[in-house]
A and B are shown apart, each in its own frame.
With several copies, the nearest count.
Chain A
Amino acid sequence: MRYLPLTGADRAEMLRVVGAPAIDALYRDVPAGMLHGTDAFDLADGKGEFQVEREMQAYARASRSAGDGPFFVGGGLYRHHVPAAVDHLIQRSEFLTAYTPYQPEIAQGTLQTLFEFQTQVALLTGMDVANASLYDGSTAAAEAGMMAVRITRRNKVVVAGSVHPHYRAVVRNQLGFAGIEVDLAPADPRAEDDIMARVDAGTAAVIVQNPGFFGHVSDLTTLADAVHAKGALLVVAVTEAVSLGAIESPGAMGADIVVGEGQSFGNMLTFGGPTVGLFATRSKFLRQMPGRLCGETVDADGRRGFVLTLSTREQHIRRDKATSNICTSAGLCATAFTIHVAMLGEQGVTHLAALNHAQASLAADRLAAVPGVTLVNDSFFNEFTLDLGRPSAPVVQRLADRGILAGIAPATLDGVEGDADRLASLLVVAVTELVTEDDVEALAAALAEELAA
């Protein structure tokens, strides 16, 4: 077997040294009858590389990948161009096959990268500090809720209707098991929420999303003041990190904690995972922050170096007193994020954001001109909501059958509580720099036909 370097002779010699007659003898602590040979498993035997590749390729070809035609699906994952250098670099053995940098002297590559990641996230979100990544945006949102509960010693979290349905479901589930009350405002396609009506003296945090799931962008300054006036924290979720290049940062608008999905930078869609959870906050909340942190220090010769730090917050030191149970981060995805943002730089991030916004704006105008279609949003970044005037899910399916992935019918999503009638006719459309004018025309034409039918 190609991955196993021991030969029969090696095994015999090693067993001799160990003093065991056979490998099975080393399993003598396994209860009788429970140590099996291969026959006990109704599974295939090993295969050569090209056979496995062929089988996996067959699966890959059984899906319609995003690049196969017009594509407008967003909803928390966005199809952006990732420069070839990013994937090249994260495949370097030294990044790909290293472990968590517990031995900093021989892990400065990973550590300095994480330090740069933390800085980039802090800059983009307008916050003081960021951690070295969490699993994804949805679990980061849940962690933020729990952190707010720890900080405020209150036990209720309010989740706005602008928040991604999946994020809502994750927050409700995770906080629910932790014994925290979760007040979910209904889905809010028209940004009409009066979220403050749900905030009371027991509220630890209000979680909003910007741009919202339906695309709205909001100035959160007033909301932040109102939340703070109630003694609660404002948590802002950002599911499209590219928007931070065009929209005022959550930090500047008064957020206490910013969580986000960083997939847009450096990471492919990959069917939704792995991605990279962003988590940033104010310095004063640092020690209540979950997740890994990388910090600057000096070595025995006085040279600058980086280490994992403040691990007294973490489970491997604090066990049941830890700020979170998180052990694994999104290291490699964070590395990809860091490299892509480094390549873009100030100019690139702002240009990319402007390009996305302009293309989306043009596409919205074009699609709103299709008879029967109404543009729901007065404001948006690169994703907006259309009202088709009829149930959108069947339309989406028929367009998919024609080779066009038109977007998301929100009524079909887990976690999207709200006015079912109002939701049923909506279509959430994302337009990134990879969408061409031809793609928009193709969608407009097909949509016109479907709606005329």
Chain B
Amino acid sequence: LEEPLIFEQGTPGRIGVDLPPVPAATSRLGGTARKGAIGLPDLAEPQVVRHFVRLSQKNYSIDSGLFPLGSCTMKYNPRLNEKVARMPGFADLHPLQPVSTIQGALGVMAELSDWLMRLTGMAEITLAPAAGAHGELAGLMAIRAAHVARGDARKRVIVPDSAHGTNPASAVLCGYTVESIPGTEDGRVDVATLKAALGPDVAAVMLTNPNTCGLFERDVRAIADAVHEVGAYFYGDGANFNAIVGRVKPAELGFDCMHINLHKTFSTPHGGGGPGSGPVVFAESLAHVAPGPRIGKADDGSYTVDAVPGGGAVGRLKAFFGQMGMFTRALAYMKSLGRDGLHTASGDAVLAANYLMVRLSDEMSPAFDGPAMHECLFDDSFLDGTGVSTLDFAKAMIDEGFHPMTMYFPLVVHGAMLIEPTETESKQALDQLVDALLSLARRAKAGEAAMFHAAPRYAPRRRLDETLAARKPILRWTPPVDARAAAE
């Protein structure tokens, strides 16, 4: 059954939410009262529930199967976290209440901060950023503020070409120009290339480690030294922190600051694209310009909201205190795993990726040698001459019951396929994925290109025309012409 838009199901005279009658009162809207109708459809509650249940049934999700999207870390989202986030003391709490009435929320922020600083070895933290890219911006602002404070404003930020697109975009937003540097044959930053690009006008080098090829940047210390030598700061993109959490402290690798994606490493749900949360940790080198909010503790043990370091050199990043709903989930997750569980989790994630890499190499072409970290990267050379593209291959996975891997990222590899299994998949599930992918690779090589081009066939939709969507954008429902005419 097809599910029409909610706008195509409305009939005046229905109500989906009963409300008490409006009491008689003086209107204070002055001349601004709404004149026309909004145009929303009227439905009853059962219809709305059925509509969204049916829509949901057209989605693939981590709860329905393996979701090996590289760089996205689709791990299991514990239901305890959902329960905790909905406790009235967190969900039904306003950030502008007096501090004496929000002690529990501040306590969560303080403990979460403590965990994140200890896990990263860092000295200061801000929980404000709403997502990873927002965290990048916060980190770069601190870097800029630090340079400005010492009278040394700089212009350039260096980003490897394998980086997430957010890195250069954030740098530009922070007023920098961006220089992209190519990687080595083995999928890593080349120290010599980097050194050549460095100079006194470089504000920061941004490095993702493990990087988006799923590899650990083994020269990270040398890079850090080179960066620091020219007076620049070393920014860590912590999107892949899940590979090393509980094992490696980013501060020891030489990073001056790093953002952390709570929705990747710490299991908060992706929710179809958000919300996220991107706290940033700062080494001593940048602690003096870390933005707020900053939770302190008074002598009587109560929590306080403290003044921001550096006199607010970096100002407010977001209204209120940050993504509390993600803080409670992430803290519940960390307490559940503990340092031992986090250590095991990162190890299992890395083991699973290496297992896939080795087993899939029977038919597929790894882009680089291992060991992989949390994800493994293949190029499309194994499809050479088959008439099957990375896109076709990915769509064929859908018919096998799996979500495709990340396609065409990172850009440094031709027809990239980036596979991240995470630690919450069983060996049986990994083996099922391997069997399906190997079988698909063999079928591609056996000349079954037509099947791949036709995929997916067993999904709620076959391949969608993205070109049409972009060429003639239809971004909202509009009433049918005859209905509009009738209304006039």
Contact = CB atoms under 8 A, between A and B. Distances in A.
B298 interface: no
A297 B465 contact: yes
A88 interface: yes
Interface stretch (A128-136, A151-159, A223-231): A128-136
Interface string A17-37: 111100111111111001111
A123 B325 contact: no
Contacts of A83: 16-17, 45, 79-80
A261 B427 CA distance: 36
A295 interface: yes
B61 A96 contact: yes
B319 A95 contact: no
Interface string A268-307: 1111111000000000001000001111111111010111
B149 interface: no
A111 B336 CA distance: 33
Contacts, number: 775
A316 B84 CA distance: 33
Given A112-B5, A317-B165, A23 B347 contact: yes
B394 A41 contact: no
Contacts of A355: 19-20, 22
Interface string A290-334: 001111111111010111011110111111111011111111111
Contact of B82 (A9, A91, A138): A91
* Best-buried of A102, A146, A286 by chain B (most CB within 10 Å): A102
Given A64-B101, A83-B79, A99-B67, A310 B473 contact: yes
Interface stretch (A200-208, A340-348, A417-425, A443-451): A340-348
Contacts of B150: none
Contact of A362 (B23, B89, B475): B23
B446 interface: no
Contact of A36 (B5, B6, B249): B249
Contacts of A453: none
Contacts of B18: 1-2, 46-49
Contacts of A173: 141, 314-317
A18 B355 contact: yes
A100 B57 CA distance: 16
A45 B338 contact: yes
Interface residues of B, number: 210
12 contacts: A35-B248, A66-B92, A85-B49, A92-B52, A106-B60, A115-B476, A139-B134, A271-B320, A273-B277, A295-B474, A328-B273, A346-B41
B247 interface: yes
Interface string A79-96: 100011101111111111
* Best-buried of B19, B67, B463 by chain A (most CB within 10 Å): B19
B173 A88 contact: no
Given A41-B119, A94-B63, A358 B56 contact: no
B34 A249 contact: yes
A325 B169 contact: yes
Contacts of A1: 15, 18, 44, 337, 340-341, 344-345
Contacts of A2: 15-18, 44-45, 336
B418 interface: no
Contacts of A244: 34, 38
B326 interface: yes
A333 B336 CA distance: 25
B480 interface: no
B359 to A, nearest CB: 6
B144 A177 contact: yes
* Best-buried of A109, A324, A326, A349 by chain B (most CB within 10 Å): A109
A176 B313 CA distance: 11
A71 B88 CA distance: 14
Contact of B46 (A5, A7, A27): A5
B425 interface: yes
A166 interface: yes
A120 B40 contact: yes
A346 B74 contact: no
Contacts of B105: 59, 63, 271
